[in-house]
Structure 1
Amino acid sequence: MNGARNHERLAGSTDLAVLKPFRLNNGEPPAWRLQASHGYVLFAVLAVYVLVGDVHAAPAKPSILATMWKWTPFLLQGFAFNILISFVSIIIGTLAGAALGLGQISNSGLVRSFAWTVTQFFRNAPWLVLLFYCIFLIPFEFELFGVTIPFPAWIKAVIGLSLPVMANFSEIVRGAVQSIPDGQWEAAESLAYTRRQTLWLIILPQCIKRMLPPWMNLYAVLTMATPLVSIVGVGEGMTTTGEILAAENRSDLLIPFYLYLLCLFFLYCYPIARWTIGLERKYAVKI
């Protein structure tokens, strides 16, 4: 710190070419502050629109704010279903993706080729197309020992979202394992560790802190993609908002309610983004 100040003092007291201290942000505000300001703008737009709408609303109609407050429990119930879908999808996708990622670093060429093909196929497939395939190709019920077992649409939607999550997490696992220096493998081999012991006792524990930030970012992306399931008939936040607007039958509620839902997603995903940034700084490689 004192060295940087002396360097700046020297730069101001001489006409010689002096290299100024390097700053990462060049005096600009950090990215997370810019993101927070975007959130404030979002809430401000919602508040202004509600107030203006209430001023111009007909006297016989209840205010926009009162209507939003009345339907808030119903909207939160639909939004909670988005969170449930995201939780189940990230768990299934993480477990399947971990197995697939380890398959990409297998000693068997056949296993590596299969894991790479599956990863690239689902990683580069549109999420909405995968949802439609799961909705229409998986039966709505199964017959097991004469018992009919229903298979709800939301479970098929979870499978459809788990597939791209699986493929993306597979790449996260592969990249994390390959980022560990080769000396770790060589040291374990010199201690007569098997490949399995080396992987589970030495390599993967070091990979956790490297995989955690991108995994959390993947979960945030998945959460923001959950409204796609409304297109295939799953009742969640978007579907609930549509039902509220249909019940009220008021055109002036269209923008406020969708802004309201947007604010809910922001309030849920922004802390995850902030936590991810903190973990990236904590586990960053010091040069």
Structure 2
Amino acid sequence: MDTISIDKYLPDILRGTWVTVEVTILSAILAFIVAFVFGLGRLSNVSIIRWISYICVEFIRGTSLLVQLFWLYYVLPIVLKQFNIDLQLDALFTGVLAIGLNYGAYGSEIVRSSIKAVPGGQREAGIALNFSPLQIMMRIIIPQALMRMIPPFGNLLIELLKGTSLVSFITLADLTYEAKNLRNFYYSESDFIFLILLVIYFVLAYSMTFAIRKLERRITAGRM
């Protein structure tokens, strides 16, 4: 393999890697927020909030992430033009929004089930201490539920990272987009280009796994 040719396409790969990392971080933050909003919404005592959360989660989970990306980036501007609204969403914003909502909807079930798994006696103890419902949730329930959430959230984060490759279909120059472009210019080196792609995704995913396991050990230390 010619070293010079590697030097030519490696900067593009690294630039795409940064975009992938950026999309992953921003989408993960949004997904975390959405997961808690919908997860707590599905546990609400107010039926309308509970049903709205349920419908939103089922709709988002029941449709393809790729279709959601296409709809937000290509279809939504056409629909808005019918109402004389000229709006074209930025590719990065669209990618983060679609991925964050999609994985946040899946994450909401993690939040809901983890909170439900906390023994009922914990809530009763909070009532005995004259805590308000909000104080019980924030000081007693959620801290215990978080320990249950970390492993499944870690798995979801890895899936989110791999899902970011779909943003290449809306012209966002992420790692996959750059690799596909480079393949057109260096077709004879396609095997090496996509090997680099595999290695980078693996390194990113393994780094996340390592960080999540370390966080899990730190949070659970002294609580077992």
| TM-score relative to the length of structure 2 | 0.86
Could you tell me whether the CA contact under 8 Å between 1:97 and 1:168 is conserved in 2? yes
**Which one-letter code corresponds to 1:190 in the other structure?**
A
**Which one-letter code corresponds to 1:201 in the other structure?**
R
Unaligned runs of 5+ in 2: 81-85
Residues 187-202 of structure 1 mapped to structure 2, 5 A cutoff: 187-202=125-140
2:193 alignment partner in structure 1: 257
Cα distance in 1 for partners of 2:42, 2:208 equals 29
1:222 alignment partner in structure 2: 160
Cα distance in 2 for partners of 1:280, 1:121 equals 31
**Which one-letter code corresponds to 2:101 in the other structure?**
L
1:6 alignment partner in structure 2: none
Could you tell me whether the CA contact under 8 Å between 2:28 and 2:157 is conserved in 1? yes
How far does the alpha carbon of each residue in 1:132-171 deviate from its partner, in whole angstroms, 9 at most, with x for none? 111123339x9xxxxx886312211211111211101211
**Which one-letter code corresponds to 2:209 in the other structure?**
A
Cα distance in 1 for partners of 2:65, 2:89 equals 20
- Percent same amino acid at aligned positions? 27
Residues 130-139 or 196-205, more deviating:
130-139
Cα distance in 2 for partners of 1:279, 1:176 equals 17
Could you tell me whether the CA contact under 8 Å between 1:217 and 1:276 is conserved in 2? no
Does 1:267 find its partner at 2:203? yes
Does 1:114 find its partner at 2:52? yes
Cα distance in 1 for partners of 2:16, 2:24 equals 13
**Which one-letter code corresponds to 2:65 in the other structure?**
W
Residues 238-253 of structure 1 mapped to structure 2, 5 A cutoff: 238-248=176-186, 251-253=187-189
Task: Give the number of equivalent residue pairs.
Answer: 217
Q: Give the deviation of 1:241 after TM superposition.
A: 1.6
Cα distance in 2 for partners of 1:171, 1:203 equals 16
1:185 alignment partner in structure 2: 123
Unaligned runs of 5+ in 1: 1-53, 55-62, 143-147
2:172 alignment partner in structure 1: 234
Cα distance in 2 for partners of 1:172, 1:127 equals 19
Structure 1 SS opposite 2:77:
coil
1:151 alignment partner in structure 2: 89
Cα distance in 2 for partners of 1:204, 1:280 equals 15
Cα distance in 1 for partners of 2:117, 2:215 equals 17
Q: Give the deviation of 1:217 after TM superposition.
A: 1.8
Cα distance in 2 for partners of 1:271, 1:155 equals 25
Residues 1-287 of structure 1 mapped to structure 2, 5 A cutoff: 54=1, 63=2, 65-139=3-77, 151-248=89-186, 251-276=187-212, 283=220
Cα distance in 2 for partners of 1:279, 1:232 equals 34
How far does the alpha carbon of each residue in 1:227-256 deviate from its partner, in whole angstroms, 9 at most, with x for none? 1111122211122122223334xx321111
Mark the structure with the bigger radius of gyration.
1
How far does the alpha carbon of each residue in 1:80-134 deviate from its partner, in whole angstroms, 9 at most, with x for none? 1011111111111211221111111111122112212211221232211211111
**Which one-letter code corresponds to 1:163 in the other structure?**
L
